[in-house]
Amino acid sequence: MTDQTDKPTAPQSDKAVEDNNLRSPIRPVHPDNNEDAARPATAKSGMIAKAAQLSTDKAVSDAESAPLDTMPENPQAALELLRRKMEIVANEFGEGKINRAQFNAIYGRYSEQRTIIETLLKRNPENPAWKQAAAPGHTSFLRQHFEARLSYYLVYQHNIPTPLMMGGKQQANMDQISSVLQALWQMSKRPKIGLARKEMGGGQWLVLALGEFSVTLALFMLEPSVAQATLVRDLHNDFERANRRSLSNGTRSLDRFVFPQRALAEKDIGG
């Protein structure tokens, strides 16, 4: 409820209304002031609501401009900062920068923090325990723990069962790879270029980047992000572009080739 003397606020733009509808509300803590007890109930209620709204608006403003690792000064700022972080991680997944496991772990952590803070404030708005629940940390560990890691990669010329190049930290399961290649090469309408991801069991995922003359297969532990799969595709496209003459001639001499795919093993690519 608001004072009758409040001026009407300017109408929000369609985008602002849409953004507000997408965001779940922060529950403001209404202050109690015993000195206002003698005032009329209507006036007192309006002042309390207005003060609470001003407090919430300041918390939102402070949280939106604060670094993500800042410790908030009050619980409203803490809730707004968590909401901001949840939006950021949702955008990261939408843009393909992180995988599903990373999203679930990080978003779940922020959601848990938010629920704890709201529960504490509901029980006792003066309880400082919200600070412990709002403390930053853990999400960097979750991001690293659940990112996909390359196990190995192989490069094949089409219809030649021996790899032209291989690399990585682990030995490839050649029976498994052979089965995938046979299915690929027996396709009646195989596309000239393409990209695919396939779950292989045991937490392993295979990324297959197809070109006109060759194919690169990269095996990851955990599901790779879209960005990781796109990197495999880009490296394979560069491989075919750089080695087009040798590939079209059917050359097998390694000294005639360059392998952009080495970048997959030379750095531990993350999500």
Q: Domain locations in the chain?
A: 14-145, 149-266
Residue 120 CA, chain-centre distance (Å), reads 28
Hey, which residues does 154 pair with through a beta bridge? 166, 217
Q: Which CATH class is domain 149-266?
A: alpha beta
Average pLDDT estimate for 153-163:
96
The H or E element that residue 150 is part of is strand 149-157
Residue labelled with tokens 């997408």 = 22
Supply the Cα-derived Rg of the chain in whole angstroms.
28
> Residue 215: which of 146, 149, 155 has the closest Cα?
155
Sheet order of strands, 165-168 included = 165-168, 149-157, 214-221, 204-210, 194-201
pLDDT in tens, 91-128: 999 999 999 999 999 999 999 999 999 998 888 888 88
Mean pLDDT of the chain: 80
Residue 22, classified by CB atoms within 10 Å of its CB into exposed (0-12), middle (13-18) or buried (19+), is exposed
Task: Report the predicted TM-score, pTM, of the whole model to 2 decimal places.
Answer: 0.68
pLDDT in tens, 120-141: 888 888 888 888 888 877 788 9
